[in-house]
Amino acid sequence: MANHKSAIKRIRSSDVKRSANRLQHKTARNAIRNLRNNSNKKDAKKQLPKVISLLDKLVKKNIIHLNKASNLKSKLEKHVASL
């Protein structure tokens, strides 16, 4: 266990940030999964901008890497186009 006040506070704040990041990441993964499972092209086209926005927000907050988000967006766009 940490001995300094600042280290204790740092542990507390990093736990809060970690849980918030995990929630955002899980939400985005669920949105991606729902989009991939959607077989209706009209609904998928409606969902795509929202999912892309979620991915961009994750990149902006350094939760996922820019290239990972780009790969995911590309694959999702191909999937929606192939419906």
CATH number for position 24: 1.20.58.110
* pTM of the predicted structure, to 2 decimals: 0.81
Q: Range of 70's domain?
A: 5-82
For the chain, how many helices (H) and strands (E)?
A: 3, 0
Q: How many domains does the chain contain in total?
A: 1
CA distances from 57 to 9, 37, 41, 45 (A): 27, 22, 25, 19
Residue range 3-28, pLDDT digits in tens: 899 999 999 999 999 999 999 999 99
Residue range 27-82, pLDDT digits in tens: 999 999 999 999 899 999 999 999 999 999 999 999 999 999 999 999 999 999 99
Taking residue 21's Cβ as centre, other Cβ atoms within 10 Å add up to 15
